[in-house]
Amino acid sequence: MTAFSGAVTLDGPSGTGKSSVARAVALELGAAYLDTGAMYRAATVAVLDAGVDLDDADGITRAVTEAVIGIGTDAATEQVTVDDVDVTDRIRGSEVTRAVSPVSAVPAVRRLLVDAQRSLVGDAVAVVVEGRDIGTVVLPDATLKVYLTAEPEARAERRAAQLGVTDPAKIAAIAADLRRRDTYDSTRTDSPLRPATDAVTVDSTHWERHQTIAAIVGLARERANT
């Protein structure tokens, strides 16, 4: 089997399982892996710790510029740091989740982190990068661009299962939050969430995780042989 070389981008809305799917795809392909969402969450930690108001774009930019954000590209492990402090677990907490959208919507922050993302993956022979604007902005010449999506209800069910939530009303609230996040991300002025014109859309609404992974790995290997 021909080894994969090149870049796979995996974009899509919140709650589609991009991070876990992209990491698994990278492991299957023997590729490096970059979770750009983790970078924005780390930037959000820096903003929160600096006590900056989320409506203060200049303050947000200053806090992110001054922070030292570290993120690994080994698909087998995850480590995220801000100013040499491990924030791997903290970035997934509710405080950061509530604040990450306004931080990531600041154009200057996006420019800073896009430059950092390109630098991190620039020398990789094979890499899988996931986020919301990877195929459209960060790596527009990627070998394979995938837009991973699923219906909000399916995404809500999966997130609820991760959180151990079984109350139908709470699951409906999760779905409503996902719809709001979709609207926010897809209508922002700078780098809105949308599939690249040459992306392959993978709808995982009715798929198990392993089916989604297998489909994307298959697409990547097809590209490696063309």
Binding positions for ATP are: 12-20
Quick one: tokens of 53? 């108001």
Annotated binding site: 12-20
Quick one: tokens of 72? 């690994």
Is residue 216 within 8 Å of residue 129, measured between CB atoms? no
Q: Which residues pair with 82 in a beta bridge?
A: 69, 85
Backbone phi and psi for residue 200, each to the nearest 5 degrees, phi listed first: -95, 120
Secondary structure of 62-127 in the HEC alphabet? Answer: HHHHHCCEEECCCCCCCCEEECCEECCCHHHCHHHHHHHHHHHCCHHHHHHHHHHHHHHHCCCCEE
User: Would the CA dihedral through 17, 22, 25, 26 be positive or negative?
Assistant: negative
Secondary structure of 130-175 in the HEC alphabet? Answer: EECCHHHHHCCCCCEEEEEECCHHHHHHHHHHHHCCCCHHHHHHHH
The single residue listed with the structure tokens 């690994």 is 72
Q: Which residues pair with 9 in a beta bridge?
A: 129, 145
Is residue 46 within 8 Å of residue 30, measured between CB atoms? no
